[in-house]
Structure 1
Amino acid sequence: MNIGLTFDLRKTYEAMGFSKEETAEFDSEETIDYLEEAIKNAGHRVSRIGNIRDLVENLAAGARWDLVFNISEGMYGRSREAQIPALLEAYGIDYTFSDPLTLALSLDKAMAKAVVRASGAPTPDYIVVDSMDFTALPPLRGFPVFVKPLSEGTGKGIDTASVVRGESDFKERCEFILKTYRQPAIVEEYLPGREFTVGIIGTGKNARAVGTLEVKLLDNAEPLVYSYANKEFCEERVKYILCRDEALVKNASEIALTAYRSLGCRDAGRVDLKCDEAGRLSFIEINPLAGLHPSHSDLPILCALNGIGYDELISLIIHSAIERCIEPGANEWWKGNCENSNRS
């Protein structure tokens, strides 16, 4: 197959004047090199496309691919992760990972939690603060609470001050999120217990949990939180431990798969969970477009610790996408009208 590769390079946006934090979700050239090599090792040809502007230019020039391996996060808007998949769907081109609805829904942490809670999975109570006009304190169980941007990833907007223990700090933190990230803040009951992330591969009934990873902050890390800085410098600040507790892994996997399926995630993803003071696990958030650097990103780290090499992970993702794309009725109209199109 000829597989196109869509992505956002950090250096491209840094050259445009964006900061390292603003580009935190984007990829290094090294990640793209590893990914291209893994796709080739799976027996496919690779065409590097780039970001959404590059994709538009390619499509306008008549380029087409059998499948697009999409890891583009997008830059603008709360539906930014959905933009390339939406464009590919308009052209009838199959792609890896979740569709526009799931990507937009998952990036809005409050909407994602509402869907997950409706599916029966536990998640902390929360409110959304979209302006500083509010007068009441959050209708939760009291302080401490956890305050973070509504629609960010990679720990952006999260540091030790995200754990808020009083009214004045609460208002100050909400104002900081609103002004700095120009989006609402989501305020959750703070869970002080252990933190885990669950890796999932597959789609729908074929989705399976491939491991549960505990995130342990080292003494030199920012305390209490898996923050942007801790993620950026995870090699020095974080220890990742593959969980072997069968009961905990079973519970974590059940919650993660419930969340993953209820949100309609596809091919692969990662679900973050945390324990309360009694050790009970709850859904925190989901990443349906997980990072894929082999030694820096949580999903490949988790898979490697559980015996799934990087090339195998990428091959499994492609296999899942192909399997669901050849289901009866999938893009049949477009494919029937484009059988003789020139694929570049």
Structure 2
Amino acid sequence: MIKTHSEMTVTIINSQGHWQNGWLPDNETLRHFVKNLEQSDVKVETFEVKNVSELERLLSRLDAETLLLPNAYHVNADKPGTELVWMGEIIDRFKFKTIGSSANSLRNLLQKHVCQQILRENGVPVPDFTFINPEDMGNEKNILQKAGLTYPVIVKLTGESCGIGISTDSVVYNEADAIRKSRQILQAYNQGVIVESFLPGHDITAARFVIGHETLHLATHYQIGNKAVLGHEERKLPWGTNKKMIRVKESNILNQLDEILPKVWKALDVQDIIRLDGKLDANGQFRVFDVNGFPGLTAHCNTFPV
């Protein structure tokens, strides 16, 4: 028997200290999201767990028919200072239905260099790139020369979103500056960097929704004045003034996205929704440089409102 909206319960699980990479990165956006669901006659519960034990206790007492929306990649381990645990893996163990993709898909999406490699192997156009680990400090020159990248390139963290670690000086024009910038990020963040060919022009953001038998593609130009590099500070700016979303109408871009989005979906084994960012290269080819596992659906500030 299929439940009606009024009988359906959506449970949103937040993870203490890990909101920033979720669908709903703060209490204000959570409030808007819950309000939208409740206006559609959906019952909503929200919880925040501080560690694995709290998450397991919560899951053990929820109704088996509850639909879960995990609002984080990670949950803290019970013992402070130990390695983080993937929230999705614990939820999968309890056999709940969820909104969004599996823990394995999210893990591949979170690391840009892993994601780009999977896409490249599945025929999705991406910028040329290479990856440098913290352990590779001192060997950056060999890695860059082996990759054969054409300058300029952009140097950015592989495991962060929302433009964290990116600024105008992330774009460099020669090997020496690529080494300098890579080492600066490796030392500051102690995580890997992806170095990829820089594409000028503004970002294009596209999404694919699959709801039952319905599929919907949406695309917008993401513009902040004439900026070609969008860092964390720019992405935090409110919409309006110089920060604009303009619906993509150009047929050459839309036709490419209609071909690319299903390939990305299949390659990464995505469920429900995916959002990606890319740019056109000098030949007009759309190239994907980021795919979002938690694609920000906040009604008042993100690209694809609920």
Q: TM-score range by the shorter chain?
A: 0.7 to 0.9
Structure 2: gaps spanning 5 or more residues = 1-7, 78-82
1:225 counterpart = 2:229: yes
Any idea what SS the aligned residue of 2:87 has? helix
Aligned residue among 264, 273, 277 for 1:268? 273
The count of corresponding residues between Structure 1 and Structure 2 is 284
Structure 2 counterpart of 1:102, one-letter code: S
Instruction: Name the structure 1 match of 2:54.
Output: 57
Q: What secondary structure, in the 3-state scheme, does the structure 1 residue paired with 2:61 have?
A: coil
Matched, 1:200 2:203: no
Once the 2 structures are TM-superposed, how far is the Cα of residue 259 of structure 1 from its aligned partner?
0.9
- 1:215 matched to 2:222: yes
Indicate the SS of the match to 1:196: strand
In the alignment, is the contact (CA less than 8 A) between 2:275 and 2:292 conserved in 1? yes
Aligned partner letter, 1:151: G
Q: Secondary structure at the match of 1:202?
A: strand
For 1:60 and 1:46, locate their aligned partners in 2 and report how far apart those are by CA, in whole Å. 19
Q: Would you tell me which structure has more helix in proportion to its own residues?
A: 1
CA contact (8 A) 2:9 2:44 kept: yes
Q: Give the partner amino acid of 1:109.
A: K
Q: Write the mapping of 1:1-344 to structure 2, written as runs, cut at 5 A.
A: 1-8=8-15, 13=17, 23=20, 27-51=25-49, 53=51, 56-57=53-54, 59-60=56-57, 62-65=60-63, 66-74=66-74, 83-130=86-133, 131-134=136-139, 135-136=141-142, 137-138=144-145, 139-202=147-210, 206=213, 208-218=215-225, 223-235=227-239, 236-300=241-305, 310=306
The 4+ residue runs of structure 1 with deviation greater than 4 A are: 22-26
1:42 counterpart letter in structure 2: S
Please say if residues 129 and 185 of structure 1, whose CA atoms lie closer than 8 Å, have aligned partners that are also in contact: yes
Q: Distance in 2 between matches of 1:75 and 1:92?
A: 18
- Would the aligned equivalents of 1:198 and 1:209 in 2 still touch at CA under 8 Å? no
Give the conservation status (yes or no) of the 8 Å contact 1:273–1:281. Answer: yes
Would the alpha carbon gap of residues 58 and 150 (structure 1) be closer, same or farther in structure 2, given more than 3 Å must change? closer
1:109 Cα deviation from its structure 2 partner: 1.0
Query: Which position in structure 1 is the counterpart of 2:5?
Result: none
Q: Identify the range of structure 1 (183-192 vs 206-215) with the bigger mean alpha-carbon deviation.
A: 206-215
Deviates more, 1:190-199 or 1:154-163: 190-199
TM-score normalised according to structure 2 size: 0.83
Structure 1 distance, partners of 2:190, 2:75, is 14
Percent identity at matched positions?
A: 20
State the superposition RMSD in angstroms: 2.7
| Structure richer in strand, relative to its length | 2
**Unaligned 5+ runs, structure 1:** 301-309, 311-344
Whichever residue aligns with residue 245 of structure 2, its letter is Y
**CA drift at 1:123:** 0.9
Counterpart CA distance in 2 for 1:133 and 1:59 is 43
Separation (CA, whole Å) in 2 of partners of 1:288 and 1:112:
11
**Cα separation, partners in 2 of 1:24 and 1:264, compared to 1, 3 Å:** closer
Q: Any idea what SS the aligned residue of 2:33 has? A: helix
Shift of 1:277: 1.9
Conserved? CA contact 1:52–1:74, under 8 Å: no
| Distance change (3 Å), C-alpha of 1:277 and 1:218 | same
TM-score (norm 1): 0.75
The structural deviation recorded for 1:33 is: 1.1
